[in-house]
Amino acid sequence: MKTLSKILLCLACVMLMASCEKEKPVYLSGEQPDLYQVFTADFTVWEHSVVPAGSTCQLTWEGNGYSDCIGSFRVEITLNCNMASGEFCDLNGSFIADDDSELFFQISEGKILPNSGEGCDYYEGYFNDPAEITGGTGQFVYVTGSFCPNAFIHNKKNENDTWFAKFLCEGKIFNFYRSDKDHIYPEL
């Protein structure tokens, strides 16, 4: 009889464990967030490079802007450029949020073209080569995605004028959540 009661007790324990569900994450909104969000960012950068020597140079652009996903941010961009052809490569950038989290992006290669569209008298050049979001730090560790930069360039027309580029980015961002409480970290 003791053996039968032990078997029944073990069977009851196994059934109890099988009926338990794993606890699901709780989201602030009550629903699981989408895997991607629309990403937009509007920002302006100014030239902070040492004056280039020759036709090939490394440029440094810095500025600030706003994104619905990030909020207010600073941006830093470096790229290698051929001044004669307008071609560039190895554009690496970082959006830096108010909490100092950084969201990294890059464009392997592209070309600055003459702007023949609307506003061409003020924005003489543009480029729209796709940018890849490659992760980051802090709240952006697991973030990926891509965007089109829609960059318009105002060239310095006289010595009292200032060179700058205006970006109106649009794309998709994956694995971004506004709060650590919303974030599901992948099992490593």
C-alpha span between 44 and 130 (Å, rounded): 18
**Is the model's pTM score more than 0.85?**
no
Flag whether 30 is in a domain: no
Query: What's the structural domain count of the chain?
Result: 1
Q: Residue 73 sits in which domain range?
A: 35-174
C-alpha span between 174 and 171 (Å, rounded): 10
Q: Any idea which residue has 């989201």 for tokens?
A: 27
Mention every residue, 6+ apart, whose C-beta is less than 8 A from residue 77. 45, 59, 60, 61, 62, 91, 92, 93, 94
Contact 115, 124 (CB under 8 A): yes
pLDDT, one tens digit per residue, over 155-183 is 888 778 899 999 999 999 998 765 544 44
Mean pLDDT of all residues in 139-151:
94
CATH code of residue 141: 2.40.160
pLDDT, one tens digit per residue, over 93-115 is 999 999 999 999 999 999 999 99
Flag whether 104 is in a domain: yes
Q: Which long-range contacts (CB under 8 A, 24 or more apart) does 31-37 make?
A: 33/177, 33/182, 35/174, 35/175, 36/145, 36/172, 36/173, 36/174, 37/69, 37/172, 37/173, 37/176
Amino acid making up residue 98: D
